[in-house]
Amino acid sequence: MKKIAFMVLLLGFCAVAGRAQESRQDISLSGTGTITPYMSGTTDVLVSANRAFGALLSYRFMLTPSSALEVNYGIDYQHSFHYIISNTNNYLVSNRMQEISGAYVRYFVFKNFNPFLEAGPAALIFVPIYNSGTKTLDAKQQTSVGAVWGGGIAYEISPSFDFRVEFRSFVAKVPTFGDSALVTNRWYKIGIYEPVAGIAYHF
């Protein structure tokens, strides 16, 4: 009887261990850079933005050894948009852009090198910063819903850690900060050259 109970416990432990191995998780912290392209709207509004730097926190849940689901939260230190209306009026808005996104991740495993591709929905939150870089006090917080995609390589340093580099991009509507004068009627890619580099911990 004791042997049977021991075998049942052993099988249960093996099943849990196998399930834990299948459900491998990781969390990563990365530095980001964002380059926003110049945009000419269908209206008389032209938009450009400076480069911005920030951080990205990500959590991945492994569905299989080659696929995962990911959720992200990112934030920029300061992102400044420059609007030119009819080539005469200039508006500057400094903001702190935040990202909340999810993605499906597909891995391609080659020993310690794990290239991956990802894509999914994203929400970008533009929060005005009222400092000397903002020339209109009418700017309001705005959320733009769109998508994120990217690709990169994860290098396995050890069974618990890997180093990741990635290029990501967003598609979202050009923010107006609640000001009808800044409407472009355009969608564009934000951070088409957004490099990401960081460390992931597996558990």
Structural domain count of the chain: 1
The domain spanning residue 100 has which CATH number?
Answer: 2.40.160.20
Residues 48-85: pLDDT tens digits? 888 899 999 999 999 998 999 999 999 998 888 888 98
pLDDT interval class at 179 (50, 70, 90): confident
Residue 4 lies in a domain: no
Q: Is 61 contained in some domain?
A: yes
How would you write the chain as a 3-class SS string?
CHHHHHHHHHHHHHHHHHHHHHCCEEEEEEEEEECCCCEECCCCEEEEECCEEEEEEEEEEEEECCEEEEEEEEEECCEEEEEEECCCEEEEEEEEEEEEEEEEEEECCECCEEEEEEEEEEEEEEEECCCCCCCCCCCCCEEEEEEEEEEEEEEECCCCEEEEEEEEEEEEECCCCCCHHHCCCCEEEEEEEEEEEEEEEEC
pLDDT for 5 equals 38
Q: Is residue 100 part of a domain?
A: yes
